[in-house]
Amino acid sequence: MPQRLPPVLSGLDLPLAELHAARLDGEVFRVDDCFSPIDEIAQPAHRARALVTGVRDRLIAEQRSAAWVWGALSEPPTVHQFCVVLGARVTPPGISWMTVREVVLDASELVTLEGLQVTTPLRTAVDLARFTVEFGPAEGTMVTGLMRVGRFGLAECLDDMDRRRNLPNKRRAARFLRECVG
């Protein structure tokens, strides 16, 4: 009986040259820096598995990286965004393809997919609205995509922000969210 390939392949599974050749032959498709057989349907678990490859276990995918994992962003961001829980004592890796920041998170704001912790669609949408300097149509599309995936709306986003005290950028985020959901 032929053995089935894993749903996500990296250089740890097969040589990269072989994976790139398989992509050119139409046997696999790219998932960030990994690959997936063409008979797999791209879903959050695939994107999480691709992102967890080579990432420290305390890192949590957030903002644009989390939006990509959830499928609200079609292409992975050039620079992945990670966070750690305040006090996790993780030294920023100094790698150009990722940023890491310390945040306050509740366990209810995290989901683990394929060994990668990811902020929930609601937390991701609120963080995108709070920390994106130029909130335009692309960010609005991401947020509405997260709303579809997480099955929530503007009211839940505003309630989430109102529950937390001293939340930076709360008013600006509420304005952005109202404009994109309109």
The domain segmentation of the chain, as residue ranges, is: 42-181
C-alpha R_g of the chain:
17
Compute mean pLDDT per 10 residues along the chain, 182 residues long, and list them: 81 93 95 93 93 84 98 95 84 74 93 96 97 92 97 96 91 94 76
* Nearest CA-CA partner of 107 in 154, 60, 56, 41: 60
φ, ψ at 84 (rounded to 5°): -130, 155
Distance of CA 8 to the CA centre of its chain: 16
Phi, psi of 44 (to 5 degrees): -50, -40
pLDDT at 96: 74
Q: Give residue 125's pLDDT.
A: 98
pTM of the model: 0.91
Strands 34-37 and 28-31: antiparallel
